[in-house]
Amino acid sequence: GAVVSQHPSRVICKSGTSVKIECRSLDFQATTMFWYRQFPKQSLMLMATSNEGSKATYEQGVEKDKFLINHASLTLSTLTVTSAHPEDSSFYICSASRGLPGVGFTNEQFFGPGTRLTVL
Amino acid sequence: GENVEQHPSTLSVQEGDSAVIKCTYSDSASNYFPWYKQELGKGPQLIIDIRSNVGEKKDQRIAVTLNKTAKHFSLHITETQPEDSAVYFCAASRGYSTLTFGKGTMLLVSP
């Protein structure tokens, strides 16, 4: 159980275009999903936290108009990189937490396999 | 906010040896400490976690210890195998807050 998928696994796009990355929890309902960015040989950097049906909370320094996050259902969150530029090239990883506070909530995060974005 | 320090940054061992990775945290209210294994080009995989009401947890060749007084926790891997080679991340969080990750340890197990 607790499987998270991401699509696509790799994407190459031209500068100025927008790219959408999907994150799905396959066998559980994810009340909260997280989006991370990871540069080579570095740790995971949290970009934003999203709860189903509400606006995402972005970390300091992350442009909300550039990285659009939608968490429309308990199993799907999307990250759209708008007007992508070469400096946006990175490994984007989502994670999901299940449960609700007071009802078996855990702060475990289950990670997706990641999406490699290359902007030319 | 929370700050997590992880050491060493790289660790090379011979197959069959033990490996120990250590992390310290700054927020005494942190109560959840997971460890993740990340292979090249893949997402992190939760391998073991511990909560603050427990001092040690073991799962086959992997164990985690927690010292709340000193605010440090460690990952122990016994009888290492080449397939244990990966980057390992520790993390800490409190309540329902987000995870703060260490910078990672690259473990290389030589046959």
Q: What is the pLDDT of residues A42-69, one digit of tens each?
A: 999 999 998 887 889 999 999 999 999 9
b/e for A74-86, b at 16 or more Cβ within 10 A? Answer: bbebbbebeebee
How many A/B residue pairs have CB atoms within 8 Å? 47
What is the DSSP code (8-state) at residue B93?
B
Q: Which residues contact A85 (CB under 8 A, 6 or more apart)?
A: A15, A16, A119
Mutate to test the interface with B, among A31, A35, A44 (most CBs of B within 10 A): A44
Rounded CA separation A66/B9 (Å)? 33
Q: Which residues contact B47 (CB under 8 A, 6 or more apart)?
A: B35, B36, B37, B59, B62, B88
Distance from CA of B51 to the nearest CA of A (A): 10
Residues of chain A with pLDDT > 90: what percent?
Answer: 72
A89-A92-A95 Cα angle (round to 5): 170
- Which residues on chain A are in Cβ contact (under 8 Å) with B41? 114, 116
Residue A74, pLDDT score? 87
What is the DSSP code (8-state) at residue B21?
E
Beta-sheet strand order (sheet of A67-73): A4-7, A19-25, A76-81, A67-73
In terms of pLDDT, which residue wins out, A99 or B47?
A: B47
- Which residues on chain A are in Cβ contact (under 8 Å) with B42? 113-114
- pLDDT of A104 strictly over 60: no
Q: State pLDDT tens for residues B62-105.
A: 999 999 999 999 999 999 999 999 999 999 998 767 899 999 99
Distance from CA of A90 to the nearest CA of B (A): 11
